[in-house]
Amino acid sequence: MLLTSKERIMRIFENKQIDRPAIKLWGAWKYQEGDELLHPSYEPIARKASDITDLFIYARSPYNMYCGKNESISSEYVEIGDPLWVKRHNIYHTPMGDLRHVQMISKVGEPGYTIEYPVKEPDDLKKILSIPYTPYDYSDNIQKHQDLLKDRGVVMLTIDHIGYSLQRLTGSENLALFSFDCRELVLEVLDVFAKRLYEHVRTAINNGVRVPFSWVGPELLTPPLMTDHDFDEFCFNYDKPICDMVHNAGSYVWMHCHGKVRKLLERYIKMGIDILNPLEPPKNGDVDMAEAAKTFKGRIGLEGNIEMQDILLEEPEILKESIKNCVEAGKESGRFILCPSSGFMEYPKPTQHYLNNLMTYLDYGFECVNKAAY
């Protein structure tokens, strides 16, 4: 059996026999000459990943959880006299008063961060709910991506996440406090967000979308940020109906969740997740790939288990040993995808050590997954 990348990935979703484990470099795409790069030195990496890895491409459809297509959120950039950073003020214009969200935005491509969340008090949640909501007319760019990708991988439709949409408004500290102080109001907000996202998913399905659906965000609702009970009430109970809708339409679900997820794997299987990423090993995570592959063999696709900081910092021989052990262990699941824990092109000034290790990951990882043929 010799599969194309598209066939290999889809058979991992479907829990069917594959020829070998897959290999992914998160953030890679079907590279075309002249494509935008965060730094020119990433070009050989992007080109090689495009040639030899199993590609996952993220398609999108217009969607805004808070106001839909209504123009209720405005943004302005405020210079702070820093050559590297600028503030972005996002103003939520609600019938009950404005809310301000302040972010630090890098001028050179570094990850940004929030310095002021828009929801600071329980009454601010009521303001969010008062914003008029009108959904976008449905459209997507799935076919555009598929035409370029062909059989080199799979296009997935990325959707928002109900619980993460709330956490983006409150931050983790206030969400934890609100879960005690005004839990019914938190659930009311989640109910409203769920109704909106369920309708979006139904509309996508009714428009013929059958590619896998994907989302990020549950990591903001898992222990230790939230309790096990909170995870069930704020995440599991809202996400499972989406998984059911997607499965009933004949498609599949890919999900990203950082952190210590080992004890949640059974819950994610019950939820209906078909592939879970990134399954970090200790210390950041708690997934022993050999144990997880044996325990959950065939029940869920396992993607990841290589920490990005190892690619950033480790010596090549240590990195190669981690890759070898990871592939040998993951192979036993029958549904394994080797992948780092984050995107490869997130550093505007990559070191030569990092670039060399990325190439090692690609070359040696590709060698290992081919040696692990079934």
Q: What is the pLDDT of residues 14-45, one digit of tens each?
A: 999 999 999 999 999 999 999 999 999 999 99
Q: Cα-Cα-Cα-Cα dihedral of 12, 17, 19, 21, to 10°?
A: 40
At residue 308, does pLDDT exceed 90?
yes
Other C-beta atoms within 10 Å of 89: how many? 14
- In angstroms, the CA 125 to CA 118 distance is 9
> The tokens 């109900």 sit on which residue?
162
The CA distance from 285 to 288, in Å, is 9
Per-residue three-class SS string for the chain: CCCCHHHHHHHHHHCCCCCCCEECCCCCCCCCCCCCCCCHHHHHHHHHHHHHCCEEEEECCCCCCCCECCCCEEEEEEECCCCCEEEEEEEECCCCCCEEEEEEEECCCCCCEEEECCCCCHHHHHHHHCCCCECCCCCCCHHHHHHHHHHHEEEEEECCCHHHHHHHHHHHHHHHHHHHHCHHHHHHHHHHHHHHHHHHHHHHHHCCCCCCEEEECHHHHCCCCCCHHHHHHHHHHHHHHHHHHHHHCCCCEEEECCCCCHHHHHHHHHHCCCEEECCCCCCCCCCCHHHHHHHCCCCCEEEEEECHHHHHHCCHHHHHHHHHHHHHHHHCCCCEEEEECCCCCCCCCCCHHHHHHHHHHHHHHHHHHHHCCC
Q: Tens digit of pLDDT for each residue in 223-267? A: 999 999 999 999 999 999 999 999 999 999 999 999 999 999 999
pLDDT of 94 over the 90 cut = yes
Q: What percent of the chain has pLDDT over 70?
A: 100
Backbone angles phi, psi at 223, to 5 degrees: -60, 145
pLDDT in tens, 122-135: 999 999 999 999 99
Measure CA 83 to chain center.
30
Look at residues 218, 223, 201 and name the one whose alpha carbon lies nearest to residue 210. 201
CB of 47 closer than 8 Å to CB of 33:
no
Interval 362-369 mean pLDDT: 99
Give 83's pLDDT tier (boundaries 50, 70, 90). very high
- pTM beyond cutoff 0.85: yes
Read off the pLDDT of residues 54-80 as tens digits, 9 standing for 90 and up: 999 999 999 999 999 999 999 999 999
Q: Is the pLDDT of residue 1 over 90?
A: no
